[in-house]
Structure 1
């Protein structure tokens, strides 16, 4: 029994360390002195995972206390945001960026024979034919461009499986190695997070007016409400295909969301 005690303590210590390493989503918005900053780049320097702010300057990313978030955008000073326990949860955090002056290179203006009329000036402008996959008639030209997460997953799986007559499908060496090492599982998780971000952006863009004016969700809670919707157990991506069904689902979840945030919503707003 005494010999088993150190093993038990080691197991408890391991479980405690694992719990401490678990990251949660941090919700925040990026703005300057005047307005929000859309398309700003956010990266967790500890996990190397990144994302971008939406059109309203809002974002979410997995983090834990003591993680460092790097926020950058052209024309602004890069900022390092230190994550604390108080920043985690469904509350909205605000991060302000400062603008920096950008010096442009000297531009040389040359003489030309343009008159300022489109009908005549277009005849004097020489254009070169665009060279791309479609103009060169390359294979798969015009196909949908893969997202960063899709490209990493596609590469990690070694591309498409090969089918040989009499042998069935032959998996690549990359697929086998990445499956054993656990990298493939990580890439699939990154792909799932990217898909989740696409769904939340779709909900925010297409149902913003309905959420704010009909469901009476305050603007400060819009991002948290959208993420709340996408993370509920009964949410399914198939709901996005039917607007009527999605509106009914939003109405149902708005009542739940308000009950979880009674400080912002009075009973008569339910």
Structure 2
């Protein structure tokens, strides 16, 4: 019986060790306002390395699996987003306190410029700008959304980038294979998926893919998505669009 108890203890220890090695350690964090000290609930925390997410509760506490040196992207509406490195001390102590700083907003003057119409259909139709858009099935929308994958020159632009080292898509798709392979994984975590569906600032995408916001817009342009789509789509739809373009790129490259 004694030997069985020792064997059982060793077996359980090995199981926990294997799970921890595969999934990381469960770390805890408490998020506060750096000025008032108030606990912040509803804060979004994403492990950029594992693409897993969590949300802080009404006591500002969150729990998330992580490895040492993983990067956590922490964001909340009205606060400056930050990146925090998971240290060995954090893993050892299991918990740490993180402070967020409120954003200072400056109100800017907004000028609305209406179209000056004449009342004559033939003339007014030429005064109002029009765009030639294409339809695309994408996450979060019941109907097709305008985009550029099926436009006449979309195939040529993606194909051309494969043989042009100076092209934006060549550099992006060729130098970030790990980040792009995680695109599908991002949608498996409900916290990450819901966060992306609720945001339009490209900040989280920028953190997850390691590119700037301007580069995201350029990638969309190179994939032939319309300017209207890029400006109005949420982050999940943009992520889906990048994923679709990447899948097309991989097929053509073969």
TM-score band w.r.t. shorter chain: 0.3 to 0.5
What TM-score, normalized to structure 2? 0.34
What TM-score, normalized to structure 1? 0.32
Larger-gyration structure (1/2)? 1
- Bigger relative contact order, structure 1 or 2, given CA contacts below 8 A and separation 6+? 2
